[in-house]
Structure 1
Amino acid sequence: MSTPNLNADDDQIIAATQQWLEKAVIGLNLCPFAKAVHVKKQVRYVVSSATTPEVLLETLMNELQLLSDTDPEAIDTTLLIHPFVLGDFLDYNEFLDVADAALEDMQLDGELQVASFHPQYQFADTDINDIGNFTNRAPYPILHLLREDSIERAVEAFPEASEIFDKNIETMEKLGHEGWDALDVGPAK
């Protein structure tokens, strides 16, 4: 899939996201913590129909509250997929500050956090086509809502957690653009 399918229905969007999670995130071991919650079906997939950042913020706040109020055994993490808003990475990146402010306003900072995935993801000081950027590239823009407790438990179980980023870059460099494209999990370079 070279570009996100904005005509897809929610089931197709979730299926593309699950394929990316299974083949890239879990398959390449980009996040050693993802497999357990995926296998236990503790990942909530939400497709937002928001077309403005304001409506997305409202959806985000509702999902943050729901995650906070729900037993982690039922929902450990949420992928809030928003294909119709913040398609430009710079706009998306600015929205992450809004998401962090919402966490603080809701007094959920320290309990939950928001991680980021985007079809155009670009780390600071990298070229747009740098293969390292693909560690955070997904078929659609995604706000990943995580529990701090789950992260802490995962880090305790995986003592080399601080090395994940470097290992991911190494994995992506070995894979290369051709290998990434062959996975068929998201935007092509």
Structure 2
Amino acid sequence: MLLLLLLLLLLLLLLLLLLLLLLLLLLLLLLLPLLLLLLLLLLLLLLLLLLLLLVLLLLVLLPPPPQPPPPRLLLLLLLLLPLLLLLLPLLLLLLLPLLLLLLLLLLLLLLLLLLLLLLLLLLLVLLLLLLLLLLLQLLLLLLLLLLLLLLLLLLLHHHHHHHHHHHHHHHSQ
């Protein structure tokens, strides 16, 4: 018996593990496009860098044409461009967690909003119920009052009649 139970537990654990693995795989599949995009971006950036370097090399190696040398600023820019391009992927990598965080925050906000809406709905339902209860109570009270009035009328009528009779008796004596 005990062995059977243990086996069952093990099977359950295995199933859970399998489910977890499946979930992980799904997540990976979902994230794969993003990763691929990032890789593509990186590759593109690298290609751009190579191109720029080639251009620079050509500029350096080719004998300068007989024209005034380019201003310092242009050279600086040309030198800075590859650096900037190198920094871009890093920036992207840095921004990714932030973006994810933002997404999470947005999701949380949405959830909160949904919860609030649900709460409001609940409150409304409760209020409606309370109103209904109050109405019922009022109706009951009215009914009770009516009954009491009827009883009183009956009693008064009866009592009055009785009293009259008594009075008459007194008079005859």
Q: Which bracket does the TM-score occupy, shorter chain normalised?
A: under 0.3
Q: Which has the larger radius of gyration?
A: 2
TM-score (norm 2): 0.18
Select the structure that is richer in strand: 1
More helix by share: 2
Question: RCO higher in 1 or 2 (8 Å CA, sep ≥ 6)?
Answer: 1
